[in-house]
Amino acid sequence: MEKEPIIMNDGLDGLFEFVDTDSFESEKITAPRYSYWKSVGRVFFRKKSNWVFLGILVLILFMSFVWPLFQPFSLNDPANENLLHPETFNNSPAEYFMSHPFEFKYILGTASNGDSLWNKLWTASRTSLSLAFICTIINMAIGIVLGAIWGLSKKFDLIMTQIYSIIGSIPSVLLFSVLSYVIGVGFWSFVLALTVTGWLGIAFFIRTQVIIIRDREYNLASKTLGTNIFTIAFRNILPFMISVIVTLIATELPSYVSYEVFLSYIGIGLSANDVSIGQMINAASTSWMIRPWQFWPPVIVSAVVSIVLYVVGQNVGDASDPRTHM
């Protein structure tokens, strides 16, 4: 409908003009812009202790992934002259510097074949951390997707619960030893062995969480309106669970470091050519009273890595709960 121009003769012609009603602008919300992840960051960094933990984490990550680039380490390295001098084997830092000039990489003493313990430690930490990160990513990805469907579909639930109880009864060590026998020993087969059933526990956890949320009214409404199950799972329910998932990641990450230590301890871990935290702890554990300098550094690194990952993960989890964003 065309508007009739209203004629005003009060000398203000031309200063004002009429505008149309803008239906688009009228829908705009004038509240301050809210970005979910920005708020998560804001809440997370509000806590001063998180800066410290994050700092330690970055330091450890730097030492694990960057330091070995400058000081590469490998077992039985021909460049290691100490191999030829048995008197340098198993030296504590004090013993070593008594007979040798100061060198930073021997600050922790030497390993059983004269290797620099400091360099070995960070290469080992790189292996263990990569393992933890890769396994967590794979298991979480599979676990979350399948867990969401598991929780929503009742037919799938019946089958999966049985499978879960059966696989849960099989000793994981056995599964692990059979798999590493079939596919060989090495970093990637270790990853495969840890992920082949590792996702099941995560999926079960997610399933329980989904069951708690799925029958709330908004999902019921969504279902009645004909939304399909995948949309309900990934649009309605998963965003609700971000804090739960982040907390889960926080417990998963250190658990792989611990598990690697355990498997190395019982002798079915990575191959002898891989340097890992578990292998180091295991090798030093029998003589830990005599040579504490070989035992404590890997233990401390794994403990610190685990604690930092756990605390940072917990705090990210807390921060990712939108109710804390006020």
Partner 1 sequence: MGKYLLKRIVYSIFSIICVMIVMIFLLFTLKDKEVIFQGDPLLSKKQGNDKEYYKNSKWEKYGYIDLVEFETYINENYSKTLDYEEYEKAMYLPNDEKDDIKNPKIQEFIDYYEARGYTITRLYSQYSGRGDNKEVKPGYDPYLFATKNHSTFHRLGSFFSNMFTFETVNDVDNFVKENELEITKGYYVINSVNEWDDFYKYWGAKNFKLNLNSDLSDDDVKKYIVNIGVFEEDLVEAYEWNVMYYDGEGTFTKLFENNLTIDETGEYYFILNVEKDANGIFNKFSGETLLSGSNPVSKKEKGSLIEVENKGIQIIWDEYSNMPALVGNGTTHRYLIYFDDKFPFIHQNIVHFSLGYSNDDNEVLSKLFDQTGEILLKEQEYPANLGTGITEPTSLDFHTATYSYSSVLSSEEISKFGSRYTVCEVHKKDVSRVAYSFFIGIMATLLAYFIGIPLGILMARKKDKLTDKIGMGYIIFIIAVPSLAYIYMITAIGSQLFGLPNNFADSTVSARWLLYVLPVVSLAMPGIAGEMKWVRRYMIDQENSDYVKFARSQGLSEKEIFSKHICKNAIIPIVHGIPGSIIGCLSGAFITEKVYSIPGTGGLLVNAITNTDNGLILGLTFLFSTLSIISLILGDILLTVVDPRISFSSGGRN
Where along the sequence are the contacts to partner 1 (CB under 8 A)? 162, 165-167, 169-171, 173-175, 177-178, 181-182, 251, 254, 257-258, 261-262, 265-268, 281, 285, 288-289, 295, 299, 302-303, 306-307, 309-311, 314
Rounded to a whole number of angstroms, the minimum distance from the CB of residue 129 to partner 1 is 14
* Residue among 43 and 281 whose Cβ is closer to partner 1: 281
* Residue among 32 and 171 whose Cβ is closer to partner 1: 171
| E strand segments, the chain | none
CA-nearest of 260, 255, 251, 250 to 128 is: 260
Rounded to a whole number of angstroms, the minimum distance from the CB of residue 147 to partner 1 is 20
Rounded to a whole number of angstroms, the minimum distance from the CB of residue 227 to partner 1 is 30
User: Could you give phi then psi for residue 311, rounded to 5 degrees?
Assistant: -65, -45
> Which tokens hold the place of 2?
């065309």
Rounded to a whole number of angstroms, the minimum distance from the CB of residue 28 to partner 1 is 37
Q: SS3 for 80?
A: coil
Give bridge partners of residue 116 from the DSSP assignment. 110
> For 86, which DSSP code?
G
Q: What is the DSSP string of 266-316?
A: HT-SS-TTS--HHHHHHHHHTTTTT-HHHHHHHHHHHHHHHHHHHHHHHHH
Rounded to a whole number of angstroms, the minimum distance from the CB of residue 115 to partner 1 is 21
**Neighbouring C-alpha atoms within 13 Å toward the C-beta of 89:** 8
CA-nearest of 166, 195, 170, 194 to 268 is: 194
**Neighbouring C-alpha atoms within 13 Å toward the C-beta of 60:** 26
* Residue among 58 and 307 whose Cβ is closer to partner 1: 307
* Residue among 115 and 252 whose Cβ is closer to partner 1: 252
- Whether 273 and 75 have beta carbons less than 8 Å apart is answered as yes
Distance between CA atoms of residues 84 and 113, nearest Å: 9
* Residue among 83 and 175 whose Cβ is closer to partner 1: 175
Rounded to a whole number of angstroms, the minimum distance from the CB of residue 40 to partner 1 is 21
Q: Residue 233's Cα: distance from chain center in Å?
A: 23
Distance between CA atoms of residues 314 and 50, nearest Å: 10
- Whether 288 and 298 have beta carbons less than 8 Å apart is answered as no
Rounded to a whole number of angstroms, the minimum distance from the CB of residue 55 to partner 1 is 17
Distance between CA atoms of residues 164 and 141, nearest Å: 18
* Residue among 186 and 292 whose Cβ is closer to partner 1: 292
* Residue among 173 and 272 whose Cβ is closer to partner 1: 173
Rounded to a whole number of angstroms, the minimum distance from the CB of residue 167 to partner 1 is 8
* Residue among 66 and 266 whose Cβ is closer to partner 1: 266
